Structure formats: structure tokens, C-alpha cells
Structure 1
Amino acid sequence: MDFRRIEVIFLIVFFSLDIFLFLSFRNSQQLVSSTSTNTSTVTEMRKRNISFGSLDTKNGNAYYLGSQPDDSLAQNVQKLRNQKVEYENVNHTLVSTLNNPITVTTANRTEVMNKFVKKESNILFGKDYKYAPQLSSSSQMIYVPTGSLGEVYDKTAQLVFSVSEGEVVGYTQTYVKKLIVLHEKQAIKSEKEVVTNLYANSEIPNNSKISYANLAYTKLLEANDSTIYIPVWFVTIRNKDSKVSTTKKVNAFTGNIIKSSTNGDNYSAQ
């Protein structure tokens, strides 16, 4: 595809994005932002037995990113060994069943699979992925792409291993070769602002622990065969009594709590 055509496509996509953002802004929630309010909120959270580490107060920057469908997996599938592979053209997804399942334990599975991922005859572009414990569970090990623009927590670019009875039996993989910056960088909400806002909106229950608070890109919308990503805070909260974890998502630009996934994903943290 020539550069001019790509440029036209992303102009159309970004116009769609502008409309979406305008409508979202009209219904946006206000973020609790004053220093004094945040400080008192943190104190109140600790009194209610909510555990968390030091909360970063720095407001960083992030982008609107875009990508287009990519068939790099299909073009390189012949490099894979010792596995039965199928490629789904519609979703650009590679599905693999390992000829020899890999035995893992709770203690060693990260180390074992990190080594497996780095070998190109095992996983295509494996060096571009990083293990994401926040998204993983006892039955799935999820790896996400990481690069200079940040990590991507989204099923459009993800490596998911299936674990059954102590064995990794196969995986599904999606891949984005290149992320394109659609707009100049913008300020984002700090970790402290996001966490205190979640509490103020009754999203963090008493007697719980914030086990993860990570910033990553996730899909906002699709338009003209292109995907637009925005930065989102993924905050995982673990109930100290039930031991059940839930992950809350917050738009890093606006501070709005994402009540339902923009892309249908339901992540289950460990």
C-alpha cells in the first residue's frame, strides 16, 4: 500500500476519532484532581484497610496510535517447528497446537516460557513480546508487545498460551508490525489521580489490595480497516477475603472509568 493511500485512510480514521471523542466528552466523568482531596482520600483508603504501594504523582504523556491489518504471521509461518499451525485470515490470528506439550509449574512457568518465546522456530517475533502477569491466569499465560511507545494490552496484538493440567499445550497469536502515531503527545492522568478517582467512585472496596496499576494501549475503535488505540490505566484489585481479583480500566487521557470494554475483552488477573 502506497504512502498516499495510508495517509488518506488515517485522515478518515482520525475524523471518526474526533467525533467519538466529542461524544465521549459530553458524557465524561469529572476526575478528583486537587492535591488536598487526593491526600485525604489516600489517608481514608488506608483506614479502610486498602493496601497499595507508593502512588506515582507524575503526569506523563501518551499518544493516539493507529495500526492496519498485518499478515506478517502468515508470511513467516514456515519458520515454525514442532507444532501444528493454522492461520485465520479474517482475524489475522495464528493458532498453534504444540507437538510436545511443555511441562510447567506455578513456580517455573514464567522462566520456562520466556526462554521458549525467544526462539523464532517456536514463536514468530517472540522477542517483541513480554509476559504480562496482570492479564494472565492459571489457565492462560499472556504475552503483550512492548516497544518504544509502550505496551499494548489488547487482543489485536497478543500471544496467549493455553495451560492445562500443568502443561502448555498451544497458543494463539496476533501481531501488529507497526504502530503509527496519529496525534502529537498529550498529557495523561497520574497513577495517584486514577487510583483515588476509582476509590471516590466506589470502585475499590474495603479490605482489598491494589496489586497492579499499569499503563498500556488498548483498542478504542476500528474504522476503515484500521485500529485506533488509546492509553488506558489497568488497575487490578484483589479482595483480601475472597482472594478474587478484578481489573478496572481508566482512560488515561480523560480519567474516565471504562465501565465496559471498548473491544469486548474481559481480562482475568491472577
Structure 2
Amino acid sequence: MDFRRIEVIFLIVFFSLDIFLFLSFRNSQQLVSSSSTNTSTVTEMRKRNISFGNLDTKNGYAYYLGSRPDNSLAQNIQKLRNQKVEYEDVNHTLVSTLNSPVTVTANNRKQIMNKFVKKESNILFGNKYKYSPQLSSNSQIVYVYTDSLGEVYDKTAQLVFSVSDGEVIGYTQTYVRSMIILHERQAIKSEKDVVTNLYANSEIPNNSKISYANLAYTKLLEAKDSTIYIPVWFVTIRNKDSKVATTKKVNAFTGNIIKSSTNGDNYSAQ
């Protein structure tokens, strides 16, 4: 593989992001301004019966990341056992139906599936995936790709098990062999900034609970046969009466609320 050529491609793609980001963020996202009254906002939220844990005030750092299409799943498919497997070349997706479904309950499914995932004859590169309760639902158990740079909440790098009548019957898997840093690290918004600004913009209703507030990478765009990822805060809010949960997404670099998905994914939190 010509790594020098790949580096050049990513450099070209990254510099083309400047204009794209300016236009897309201005047109499709709502700007969330920083607030100097976070403390009073937190107090007001509690008065309105909005529940949440301790909000981290630390402003960390993250990157623009990139990946190239990878055929590692197709190249290792012969290692899998006791399942019917197909590989979709266009989307680089492995689709599996288990010969013997795995019985799980709401209480034990994480423990059981963690063991299942770690066995190479069950799942390829299983040690690269981590269970995500935030993205899982009654009908799906979702594992996300993770490495030293962080977690990826995106269908380009995900392991999704299908659950029917208390049994895991199969899964779909996508995989990226590695992430490439496209630019030096940049400061990101803190958890507290994100949550209080969501409330200030009427995105958190009264009588609700913030179940999760996780930082992960998700796909921004595809260009020149490459995928570009940005850091996003995924904030899941559950209504205390209806129990219905929604997940808000916020660009961690800018603080912009992402009104429409950058990749077309709709996540349903458990």
C-alpha cells in the first residue's frame, strides 16, 4: 500500500473541509453560545425536575480523523464458525445469521455478549469493540469500534446484534483497521457546557432525565474514497413520564447542535 499517497489524499481532503464546514454548520446547525451563567442554569434545571449526575467541566481535546475502506473482514471470514456469513463489498459489511441463537435477558445480555464477542470464531476483531448501552435497544445490542483515540458512534465501524424474542439471531459488522489523525488536536466543549446550552436552547424538556452524555467520533462526510470523522457529544434524554428517550448530538468543536444527522443514522437509546 502506498502510504505516502494516502497521506496526500487525506491532506487534500482536510483542507477542502474548511469551506464545507463553514457552509454546512451555518446552514444546517444552530449555534450554541457559551454561557457565563452555567451555575444558575444548573440550578434552574433541577427546579424544573431535570435529573443528571455530576457534569464534567473539563475542556478536553480531540481531532479530525480519517479512514480508508478496508477489506479485513472479507480477508478473515474463514475464521468464523457456526454461522452463515455474507460479505457486502460495496458497504464493506459482514452479515451473519447464527446457526444457534444466543439466549439473553435484559439483565445478563451485556455479560453474555461480551464473552461471545471476544471469541475470534464468533466475531472478527472482537477486542476492538465495546458494548454501548446508549445506542442499544430492546431489539438491538450495539457494540462500537474503539481505539486509543476514542470510540466511534457510526455505522462505518459498528457491531450490531439483532434480538428477537429474547434471542440473538445474527449480526452485522463494519470495521476500520485504523484511524488517521488529519490535523493537530483542538479544544472541545465540556460536558457541562454542552448540557447547559442544550437546555438554554429548549432541547431538554422539563421532567426529564439525562441518561447518557458521551463523547465519540461520527462520520462527517466521505470524499475521495475516504471517510472523515469529527468528535460529537451524544446526549440521551429520557422523559420521566412517557419513558421515551431521544439523543441530541452536538459538535464538540463548535458547540453547534446538529439538527440533522451528518451520516443519516438515527440512534435509539435504551
Secondary structure of the corresponding residue to residue 16 of structure 1:
helix
**Contact 1:52-1:211 at 8 Å conserved across structures:** yes
Distance 2:163 2:25 in 1: 41
Partner of 1:47: 47
Q: What is the 5 A alignment of 1:155-170?
A: 155-170=155-170
Tell me if 1:224 matches 2:245: no
Instruction: Work out the CA distance in 2 between the residues paired with 1:190 and 1:107.
Output: 32
Task: Find the counterpart in structure 1 of residue 142 from structure 2.
Answer: 142
Match of 1:108 in 2: 108
Structure 1 residue matching 2:228: 3-state secondary structure: strand
Code of the aligned partner of 1:224: K
Find the counterpart in structure 2 of residue 95 from structure 1.
Answer: 95
Give distance in 1, aligned partners of 2:231 and 2:170.
Answer: 30
Please give the alpha-carbon distance, in whole angstroms, between the structure 1 residues aligned to 2:31 and 2:6.
36
Letter in 1 for 2:60: G
Q: Please list the CA deviations of residues 207-240 of structure 1 after superposition, one character each: whole Å capped at 9, or x if unmatched.
A: 0000000000000000001000000000000000
Deviates more, 1:131-140 or 1:15-24: 15-24
Of 77-86 and 1-10, deviating more is 1-10
Distance 2:108 2:48 in 1: 35
Write out aligned runs for 1:168-207 (5 A): 168-207=168-207
Q: Name the stretch that deviates more: 87-96 or 100-109.
A: 100-109
Shift of 1:12: 2.1
Matches within 5 A, 1:241-252: 241-252=241-252
Judge conservation of contact 1:16–1:223 (CA < 8 Å) in 2.
no
TM-score normalised according to structure 1 size? 0.97
Q: CA RMSD in A?
A: 1.1
Could you tell me whether the CA contact under 8 Å between 1:150 and 1:217 is conserved in 2? yes
Mean CA deviation greater in 11-20 or 135-144? 11-20
Shift of 1:19: 1.7
Quote how far apart the aligned CAs of 1:18 are. Answer: 1.6
1:125-178: CA deviation from partner (whole Å, max 9, x where unpaired):
001100000000000000001111000000000000000000000000000000
Aligned counterparts of 1:199 and 1:103: Cα–Cα separation in 2: 40
- 1:4: which partner in 2? 4
- 3-state SS, counterpart of residue 117 of structure 1: helix
Contact 1:68 1:226 in 2 (8 A): yes
| Structure-2 separation of matches of 1:17 and 1:227 | 12
Q: 1:34 is matched by which residue type in structure 2? A: S
Counterpart contact for 2:134–2:236, Cα < 8 Å: yes
Contact 2:25–2:256 (Cα < 8 Å) also in 1? no
Matched, 1:233 2:233: yes
Residue 260 of structure 1 aligns with an amino acid whose one-letter code is S
Aligned positions of 1:124-135 closer than 5 A: 124-135=124-135
The amino acid across from 1:20 in the alignment is F
User: Cα deviations across residues 57-116 of structure 1 (Å, max 9, x unaligned)?
Assistant: 000000000000000000000000000000000000000000000011111111000000
Confirm or deny: 8 A CA contact 1:32 1:193 kept in the other structure.
no
**TM-score, length-normalised on structure 2?**
0.97
1 CA distance for matches of 2:35 and 2:111? 43
Q: Provide structure 1 residue ranges, at least 5 long, that are not aligned to the other structure.
A: none
Paired with 2:137 and 2:179, the residues of 1 have a C-alpha distance of 27
Aligned-pair identity in percent equals 87
User: Is the Cα contact below 8 Å between 1:31 and 1:193 reproduced in 2?
Assistant: no
